[in-house]
Amino acid sequence: MTGQQNVSWNAVVLGGGDPGDAFAAAHEVDVKPLIEVAGRPMGEWVLRALQESGRVARIAYVGPLAGEMAELVNVRVTDRGTLIANLEAGVAALREPGNAPQRRVLVVTADIPMLTGQQVRDVLESAPDSGLVYPVVRKEVCEAAYPDVKRTYARLKDGTFTGGNLFLLDPALIGKFLPRLRAVLDARKQPLKLAGIVGPAFLFKMLLGQLRISELEARVSQILGVQARALITPHAAVGTDVDKEGDLALAEKRLGGGKA
């Protein structure tokens, strides 16, 4: 995919959420992506970035809509209640009829309103040709762009990174890796079960920060059964979601005419 500037993608935007989310309730909306930032729901900023990228053919939005969001969506999908179920439903909703070629899919959460069309385009045009691609952002890049934002980072031999709030996948492979991904997610809060999946030696090395990105790619590919690659992106917005009042204030400042 690298350098193929006219490649068309489809996109799934994950805009569901826990109806009991305190952050959403404090702003009197059903789910977090409907919280307004600079006069628009968070999810609308994400949808506009996808449209403005010029690389996305069709968009499926999973979750409730508000304002002008419906005009930016090709397919609306009801929230299924879990991340995996929503992902599966969103990708299925974009399936091309008959034997038409299936466009690759960009999956993005609806809570990264500072994402821009140019950043989306840059990620898609620089992504390696793999079944699963996960963008990551260096800690120093995030701290330079948003010095007051607290993120969760992973220390590797190649540097310290935070994960992006989007990823890219080949929809033809989703039936292969989704059950395995579900097993990993189900085990993430059970250390012994997780160690059994990834391997205790590998997990220990990861906790010590002794892994390289290439080692992670190889192990994730083996676990999921598809070629998985990381993409180091220079765009801090990719790894900066809005999930608390301080994040919201920052997004308001950036999108409402404050410091860009």
Residue 84 in any domain: the answer is yes
State residue 4's pLDDT score.
Answer: 44
Residue 206 in any domain: the answer is yes
Residue 2 in any domain: the answer is no
In the chain, how many domains are there? Answer: 1
Q: What percent of the chain has pLDDT over 90?
A: 74
Name the residue range of residue 97's domain: 9-255
Residue 4 in any domain: the answer is no
Which of 36-40, 56-60, 100-104 has the lowest average pLDDT?
A: 100-104
Return the higher-pLDDT residue of 88 and 19: 88
State residue 3's pLDDT score.
Answer: 40
209 torsion bin: left (phi>0), alpha (psi -120 to 50), beta (else): left
Residue 260 in any domain: the answer is no
Which tokens sit at 127? Answer: 């992504």
Its pTM stands at: 0.92
CATH of the domain at 139: 3.90.550.10
Residue 3 in any domain: the answer is no
260 pLDDT higher than 60: no
Q: Mind spelling out the 3-state secondary structure of 41-97?
A: EHHHHHHHHHHHHCCEEEEEEECCCCCCHHHHCCEEECCCCCHHHHHHHHHHHCCCC
Partnered with residue 229 across adjacent β-strands are: 133
Average pLDDT over residues 194-206: 86
Residue 73 in any domain: the answer is yes
Residue 106 in any domain: the answer is yes
